[in-house]
Structure 1
Amino acid sequence: MTKASDLFVQALEQEGVRYVFGIPGEENLDFLDSLSRSEQIQLILTRHEQAAGFMAATYGRLTGKTGVCLSTLGPGATNFTTAAAYAQLGGMPMMMITGQKPVKKSKQGRFQILDVVEMMNPITKYAHQLVSADNIPSRVREALRLAEEEKPGAVHLELPEDIADEETEQYPIPASIVRRPVAEEKAIRFAVDRIVAAKSPILVIGAGANRKLTSKMLTQMVNDYGIPFVTTQLGKGVIDERHPLYLGCAALSAGDFVHRAIEAADLIINVGHDVIEKPPFFMQHGRLNEGSDHHETNPVEVSAGTQVIHVSFRSAEVDPVYFPQLEVIGDIANAIWQMNNGLAERELPGWDFSRMMEVKEHHDANIAEGSDDDRFPIYPQRLVAEVRKAMPDDGTICLDNGVYKIWFARNYRAYGSNTVLLDNALATMGAGLPSAMAVHLVNSGRKVMAICGDGGFMMNSQELETAVRLNMNLVCLILNDSSYGMIRWKQANMGFSDWGLEYGNPDFVKYAEAYGANGHRVESSAGLAPLLEQCLNTGGVHLIDCPVDYSENDEILNRTIRKLSAAI
């Protein structure tokens, strides 16, 4: 006979789980005791359940294997909800395990009891309460299968304490070997026909393409056939953005150079698109009227004559502005490989990319502007340029959510897949530092930097203690403007008065030192580069307080770029 909580841990071990992130409660003590005897799984004890969920989700994003997190019932479980939505919308496999009072016999009435399974149902792929120890192996296997199945996401299992204490004769179910379905040969042939027939095709690379093998296949397509490409925020780094055919990232929703490049295409090969992301283009049923001022309000609206090929694991979620004419459904890397083979057998036309390359020249010149700006507090363009120079090719930056995310998505060139981690799905604050901690666990030898606004950092700043306790090597760069900068930018854009979004901050250097981390403060724009180098090349946890000036955000992002791009 085996104790149920022991069986649960054995089932996780069978699935290759290496970490459980979270905070146990009294309802998890059987599970915690079982976990203490595991030689494979390490408990990462955090200071808040939300941070544990962010870490588990990021682990899933980086590895493709489900990240596991643990909380108690009631308030511990409710603290998981933001992380669950983060994983669900962002396509990251994550399992939440929560405790519960005994379900067969309880003497505590309704104390702390919520219907957690019902609460989790709308924001997960699967939520289930275990009511028998015998069912643990099959429910764990099913939950993890669903978490990792395309599109990956969040799952939840509730383990009541009386079930955890049961005895059972069951054994873990071996993990199955699953191969993703491949795209139909006829769909591939149709796609190749349309690419060959196009005059100026373009690749738009989205979230679903951010996988290593897909990166390899897309890089081969661009190298072999010379098709230019743009990315969404979540598609950054799939192809090395130093590539001469990189046209930019759709970091802004409208009016940027990248939108002008997409307008020049008569065929868009949309790879890994997910409607969760802000669309890099809108499709139209009919052609736009001459003289339309649509650039002033919307992302680029492609005419009815522009064809769109949707290449993804799943069929397109049809939207009023997205209804592709051809869908290539199956494993993305395999689909691109098949398309490359098909193109190799065809005589290719003389595609005309002159307009796109003209736009690229203006885009690249605009990106370079301000990279040597000496003003202080530091301006975003200089900040991004210095971080890019400091980070090695395989280094990872983890962005929290704020207006700096747009600057980094637009101006920071990613050299590899998943080297820029940002959230443009739920777009939650508070995930930057926990994400960097997960990166350290997965790739402990690589440089990692969390880049956080002061607002987002303070939402999970307590995890500095976790990072110090676990002897992590990471840098946390805090962009300090003593306000909610993203909302101030939007406030200015909408013509409202600058009001209600400023606050005070602690002394971040002393704050870091109180946790046992190393605190630093940027005193000049010229001082940022040597400080970044020092922190990245010195072990331990480093926090850098960097004053930043966002006063020109509204003018540059909402007006100047729009005006310059519209003029070409």
Structure 2
Amino acid sequence: MKASDLMVKALEAEGVEYIFGIPGEENLDLLESLRDSSIKLILTRHEQGAGFMAATYGRLTGKVGVCLSTLGPGATNLVTPAAYAQLGAMPILMITGQKPIKTSKQGRFQVIDVVDMMRPLTKYTTQVVSGDRIPSVVREAFRLASEERPGATHIELPEDIAAEETKAPLLSPSAVRRPIAEYKAINAAVDMIEKAKSPVLLIGAGANRKLTAKMLGQFVEKTGIPFITTQMGKGVIDESHQKFMGNTALSSGDFVHRAIKRADLIINVGHDVVEKPPFFMEVGGQQVMHINFETAAVDPVYFPQLEVVGDIANSIWQIKEAVQPQDHWKLDFYDDVHQAYFEHRCAAEKDDRFPILPERLVKEVRDAMPKDGIVTLDNGIYKIWFARNYPAYYPNTLLLDNALATMGAGLPSAMAAKLVHPDKPVITVCGDGGFMMNSQEVETAVRLNLHIIIIILRDDAYGMIKWKQSNMGFNNYGLDYNNPDFVKYVESYGGMGHRIKAANELSPLIKQCLKEKTVHLIDVPVDYSLNDETLNKKIRELSAKL
């Protein structure tokens, strides 16, 4: 068969449902092979949007998301999604085209070394030099993309290789079982937990996988040990739980940091070095237990005394089965932290000022969404408020990026979430700056008949950088801009546009939009002027009283 046909069959054998992307001249054989395939091509308006969609598909399903581009400028547009998936531990395969490699009639036109470009951003990158190599190359790309720690892989398929004939057989995916922690490590972990006086459970990005949530929930129920999450660990355990103390959204000084500082043992599950450190270790200070798929990367502020290395869910299960709650544990302080955090959050949510304050915005979105609804975030200062104030009741129901923290990913992530979960409500919250970086994908969403709600937080500036500019003593310069009429903008694509004029209009409007199945955009003027007071001053003052 033709090599491009074999490529598609290899992708089908891996269970690929969608390929997101923009084909070019060098992909035409592959495009023709896809035409009669079970795989659905999702044509996007920019390669970056395709990459973000593929990465989010991988994040939500655990399977490898696939995206496609042509050579040269198409491939370079996948650099940011590659970094997004690699840092965020999202399994993705990028397929790019290339000019013929056996003969060339156009010199170096549009030709760059894409494989070399992708090398520092991926777990695996290669050029297919023979159709016979396709089965093994595809199998290896999928294996590496999905195994712990998940990430990005890349295959370059040159035009002439795609067109050649091959008789190579497909390779079936192999059955893999992750290694589990040895019993000595489990026994040491149980002993360390039982001897501690004030243990705390910290849930990181690596714990946000299948089965891990169930085991961690059982661990908390049996032991009564309170838990905290990082931004990308949100929702692993239901955050309405009485033992939830909050999220490490701020750098320091929040209620959760008081709890972490008081602990004599931090049970650190799924720690991912790409996230901002939720605590700093000191020699002679509190003990830290590292439970993860892989060993700890030691640096001056992270050097755990015990490492339990293996499948996280299994490790937690083994520890949970053996550990016994102890009478000498002192956990009452953590109940005070939970109560103080909850009371402060509720007080801030009642503010009626308009333009809307971020705390009120988060409350209105949470009230309007069902427990299993999915909210995706772009990148901006509102991300801190959602991470901190938005209770997540299930894993992967608040999708934010605390790894690359790139702008422009919010809308494509929502689109992928809706494809994966067509039965669940999906909202994306974007700053006006981040939205405009991939706003053209509104057309893709309308074309695919996706029922999503886009909430634009409009302050007519790169608000987060402007806030930091002010805090660092710089003059107000270079960060203000003009916006289009967002209501007319979305309507020009065939969606529906809305604008609120009071804070209490938002929740009813969201509920209305959830009933009307189309792409909705809500223009929400936002006021970040009190961020310094509410983030830096008030929280520190209140938490210091604990």
Task: Sort the TM-score into its range (normalised by shorter chain).
Answer: over 0.9
Secondary structure of the structure 2 residue equivalent to 1:168: coil
Q: Which residue of 2 aligns with 1:191?
A: 189
* Counterpart for residue 237 of structure 2: 239
Q: Distance in 2 between matches of 1:348 and 1:212?
A: 29
Equivalence map 1:384-423=2 (5 Å): 384-423=362-401
**Correspondent of 2:404 among 402, 405, 426:** 426
What's the RMSD between the two structures over aligned residues? 0.9
Q: What is the CA–CA distance in structure 2 between the aligned matches of 1:239 and 1:347, rounded to whole Å? A: 19
Q: State the match for 1:109 in structure 2.
A: 107
List aligned pairs for 1:84-483, cutoff 5 A: 84-285=82-283, 304-343=284-323, 346=324, 348-483=326-461
Alignment: residue pair count: 546
Picking from 469, 481, 492, the partner of 1:503 is: 481
Deviation at 1:347, TM superposition (A): 6.4
Cα shift at 1:181: 0.8
The AA in structure 2 aligned to 1:506 is P
Residue 535 of structure 2 is matched in structure 1 by: 557
* CA deviation vs aligned residue, 1:262-288 (integer Å, no higher than 9, x gap): 111111000000110001100001xxx
What's the CA shift string for 1:397-426, capped at 9, x where partnerless?
000000000000001100010001000000
Partners of 2:40 and 2:196 in 1: how far apart? 53
> 1:355: how far off?
1.7
Counterparts of 2:462 and 2:79, CA distance in 1: 23
Alignment-derived partner of residue 471 in structure 2: 493
Q: What is the Cα deviation at residue 206 of structure 1?
A: 0.3
Aligned match of 1:534: 512
* 2:494 pairs with 1:512: no
Partner AA of 2:65 in structure 1: G
Q: Is the 8 A contact 2:242 2:338 kept in 1?
A: no
- Give SS of 2:329's match: coil
| Distance in 2 (alpha carbons) for counterparts of 1:446 and 1:361 | 31
Which residue identity lines up with residue 449 of structure 2 in the other structure? N
Q: Which secondary structure state, in structure 2, belongs to the residue aligned with residue 311 of structure 1?
A: strand
Distance in 2 between residues matched to 1:354 and 1:319, nearest whole Å? 32
Looking at structure 1, the residues matched to 142 and 29 of structure 2 have their Cα atoms a distance apart, in angstroms, of 22
- How far off is 1:350 after superposition? 3.3
Displacement of 1:179: 1.1
Q: What displacement does 1:523 show?
A: 1.4
Give the 3 Å change call, closer, same or farther, for CA 264–514 of structure 1 in structure 2.
same
For residues 507-528 of structure 1, the C-alpha deviation after alignment (integer angstroms, 9 at most, x for no partner) is 0000000000111111111111
SS of aligned partner of 2:68: strand
Native 8 Å contact 1:492 1:554 kept in 2: no
1:542 positional shift: 0.6
* Alpha-carbon distance between aligned partners in 1 of 2:357 and 2:540, rounded to the nearest angstrom: 19
1:8 partnered with 2:7: yes
Which residue in the other structure is 1:295 paired with? none
- C-alpha separation in 2, matches of 1:200 and 1:336: 19
Amino acid at match of 1:250: T
**Structure-2 separation of matches of 1:243 and 1:188:** 26
Partner AA of 2:517 in structure 1: G
**CA-CA distance at 1:564 after TM superposition:** 2.2
TM-score by length of 2: 0.99
CA contact (8 A) 2:200 2:267 kept: yes
Q: Residue 386 of structure 1: CA displacement?
A: 0.5
State the Cα deviation string for residues 404-458 of structure 1 (Å, max 9, x = none): 0000000110001000100000000000000000001111000110110000000
Give the whole-Å Cα distance in 2 for the aligned partners of 1:11 and 1:86: 25
Preserved CA contact (<8 Å) 1:217 1:336: yes
Counterpart position of 1:50? 48
Q: Deviations over 1:13-51 (max 9, x none)?
A: 00000000000000000000001110x200000000000
Structure 2 portions without partners, runs of 5+: none
Please give the alpha-carbon distance, in whole angstroms, between the structure 2 residues aligned to 1:494 and 1:49: 36
Deviation, 1:167, is 0.2
| 1:296 equivalent in structure 2 | none
Asked if the contact 1:264–1:356 (Cα under 8 Å) also holds between the matched residues in 2, the reply is no
TM-score (normalised: structure 1): 0.95
**Whole-angstrom distance in 1 between the partners of 2:326 and 2:529:** 49
User: What SS does the corresponding residue of 1:316 show, helix, strand or coil?
Assistant: coil
Query: Is the Cα–Cα contact under 8 Å of residues 370 and 382 in structure 1 kept in the other structure?
Result: yes
CA contact (8 A) 1:123 1:154 kept: yes
* Cα displacement string for residues 336-388 of structure 1 (whole angstroms, at most 9, x for unaligned residues): 00001111xx4633311122222222211111122121111111111000100
Give CA-to-partner distance per residue, 1:194-224, whole Å, 9 cap, x none. 0011111000000011123110110111111
Amino acid at match of 2:294: R
Q: Secondary structure at the match of 1:369?
A: helix
Q: Secondary structure at the residue paired with 2:533?
A: helix
Secondary structure, in 3 states, of the residue corresponding to 1:282?
A: coil
CA distance in 1, matches of 2:297, 2:468: 29
1:160-192 Cα shifts (integer Å, max 9, x gaps): 000000100112211111111111111011000
